[in-house]
């Protein structure tokens, strides 16, 4: 019995060794096949990218599934002045003649982007006659859409701006470009010229499309006239931001309001490299509003009706607006008071310390290297304005009372 058990163990051992041997022999072959597939798909994507930059419709369509319904994304991109376009394969799952690829698309709009804008894409592929073809390309999971996915893009070039829109007439886009062209010099006059002095404005067809561009629920932007996207950081190599308009809210504003909004958003573009994780929102949003209203002649009571009503009710805020107060999902009245409170804080600095000190304070907060917004702000208050958070808050509350209390001028 012992001998038979031993023989069975030996036989089992031989079988296991054979199986392991087979697996070890097959692994390189499988790996080689996977590497070959990745190389083929990357080559396909490289040809597709080259066709986009060269505006070669025939080469672009040659990368799509033969005989399939036409992919009109190439045509919708026609008026977007793309100067570079590259795909980098990050993930690939293939099964037979089907594959799904995770791709990092980097592209640059010529004359506007200082570095490529990078977005995640998902590409479905089909294999026909020993060749891979693109069956579908769309935004990656949790990533926002691109404007050209929403329809044919119409382009209008201004003196300092590029406006790209879907579902809007060229005449309407020209109006937006004129606003942006006035915003850029106003921002340069206030902030300086240490930025390219150009702005890209995206105009989707609707609020829902705006949400799709931003990769977030549209309801969160209800009543928000515009937002600016982009990377924070101070490298100086951040890609040009995109100012995204909410046409439902922007177009109901008066001429003055539309100009303030575009100047506000253009300020975010200009200050991007000076804005870091240590910059509190009351300062970044307050400065943008300060530039927007600068030289307009609008008084505090006119431009801050929400805060004025609160002060008149005896609801003087105890502290500067916190970052959480700027959430788009919050009470719109509270959101308005947050913006107004930040603007009035920056306005107070410009009046009592000077405009140069306001800009120096902004840059010092972003460049402090401190570990938190609180410590960065405290350090800049001390070093630039020679004050403390407690003293600054007290001065700000007194400023609110003086500017917005009973008997203040409109």
pLDDT digit string, tens, across residues 331-380:
888 999 999 999 999 999 999 999 999 999 999 999 988 889 999 999 99
| Domains of the chain by residue range | 37-143, 145-270, 276-410
pLDDT band with cut points at 50, 70 and 90 for residue 178: very high
- State yes or no: pLDDT of 55 exceeds 90: yes
User: Which CATH class, in words, describes the domain spanning 276-410?
Assistant: mainly alpha
**Mean per-residue pLDDT for 217-241?**
70
Percent of the chain with pLDDT over 70: 88
Say whether 145-270 and 37-143 share the same fold.
no
pLDDT band with cut points at 50, 70 and 90 for residue 229: confident
**Mean per-residue pLDDT for 92-118?**
92
Amino acid 80: pLDDT? 94
- State yes or no: pLDDT of 1 exceeds 70: no
**Mean per-residue pLDDT for 305-323?**
95
| 129: number of Cβ within 10 Å | 6
Amino acid 24: pLDDT? 40
Least confidently predicted of 168-182, 220-234, 387-401: 220-234
Residue 367 or residue 22, greater confidence: 367
- State yes or no: pLDDT of 165 exceeds 80: yes
User: Which CATH class, in words, describes the domain spanning 145-270?
Assistant: alpha beta
Give the 3-state secondary structure of the chain.
CHHHHHHHHHHHHHHHHHHHHHHHHHHHHHHHHHHHHHHHHHHHHHHHHHHHHHCCHHHHHCCECCCCCCCCHHHHCCCCCEEEEEEEEEEEEEECCEEEEEEEEEEEECCCCCCCEEEEEEEEEEEECCEEEEEEEEECCCCCCCHHHHCCCEEEECCCEEEEECCCCHHHHHHHHHHHHHHHHHHHHHHCCCCCCCEEEEECCCHHHHHHHHCCCHHHHCCCCEEEECCCCCCCCCCCCEEEECHHHHCCCCHHHHHHHHHHHHHHHHCHHHCCCCCCHHHHHHHHHHHHHCCCCCCHHHHCHHHHHHHHCCCCCCCCCCHHHHCCCCCHHHHHHHHHHHHHHHHHHHHHCCHHHHHHHHHHHHCCCCCCHHHHHHHHHHHHCCCCHHHHHHHHHHHHHHHHCCCCCC
pLDDT band with cut points at 50, 70 and 90 for residue 180: very high
- Paired residues of 99 in beta bridges: 94, 125
Mean predicted lDDT score pLDDT of the chain: 88
pTM of the shown model: 0.86
- State yes or no: pLDDT of 306 exceeds 60: yes
Tell me if the domain spanning 37-143 has CATH number 3.40.190.290.
no
């Amino acid at each position: 019995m012992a001998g038979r058990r031993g023989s069975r163990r030996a036989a089992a051992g031989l079988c296991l060794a054979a199986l392991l041997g087979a697996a070890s022999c097959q692994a390189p072959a499988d790996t080689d096949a996977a590497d070959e597939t990745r190389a083929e798909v990357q080559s396909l994507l490289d040809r597709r990218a080259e066709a986009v930059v060269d505006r070669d419709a025939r080469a672009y369509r040659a990368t799509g599934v033969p005989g399939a319904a036409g992919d009109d994304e190439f045509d919708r991109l026609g008026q977007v002045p793309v100067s570079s376009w590259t795909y980098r394969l990050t993930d690939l799952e293939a099964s037979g003649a089907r594959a799904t690829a995770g791709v990092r698309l980097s592209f640059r709009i010529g004359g506007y982007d200082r570095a490529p804008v990078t977005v995640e894409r998902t590409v479905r592929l089909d294999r026909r006659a020993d060749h891979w073809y693109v069956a579908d390309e769309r935004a990656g999971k949790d990533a926002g859409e691109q404007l050209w996915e929403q329809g044919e893009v119409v382009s209008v070039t201004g003196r300092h701006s590029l406006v790209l829109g879907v579902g809007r007439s060229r005449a309407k886009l020209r109006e937006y470009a004129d606003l942006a062209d006035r915003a850029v010099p106003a921002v340069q006059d206030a902030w300086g010229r240490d930025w390219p002095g150009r702005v890209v404005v995206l105009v989707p067809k609707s609020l829902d499309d705006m949400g799709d561009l931003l990769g977030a629920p549209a309801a969160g932007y209800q009543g928000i006239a515009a937002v600016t996207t982009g990377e924070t950081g101070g490298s100086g190599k951040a890609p040009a931001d995109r100012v995204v308009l909410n046409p439902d809210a922007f177009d109901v504003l008066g001429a003055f309001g539309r100009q303030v909004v575009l100047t506000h958003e253009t300020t975010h573009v200009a200050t991007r490299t000076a804005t870091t994780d240590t910059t509190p929102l009351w300062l970044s949003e307050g400065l943008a509003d300060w530039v927007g209203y600068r030289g307009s002649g609008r008084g505090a009571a006119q431009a801050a009706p929400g805060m004025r009503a609160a002060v008149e009710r005896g609801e003087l805020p105890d502290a500067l607006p916190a970052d959480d107060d700027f959430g788009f999902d919050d009470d719109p009245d509270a959101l308005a008071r947050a913006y107004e409170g930040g603007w009035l804080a920056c306005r107070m600095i410009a009046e009592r310390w000077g405009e140069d000190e306001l800009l120096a304070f902004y840059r010092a907060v972003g460049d402090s290297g401190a570990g938190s917004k609180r410590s960065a702000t405290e350090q800049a208050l001390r070093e630039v304005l020679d004050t403390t958070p407690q003293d600054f808050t007290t001065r700000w509350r007194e400023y609110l009372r003086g500017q917005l209390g009973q008997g203040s001028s409109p």
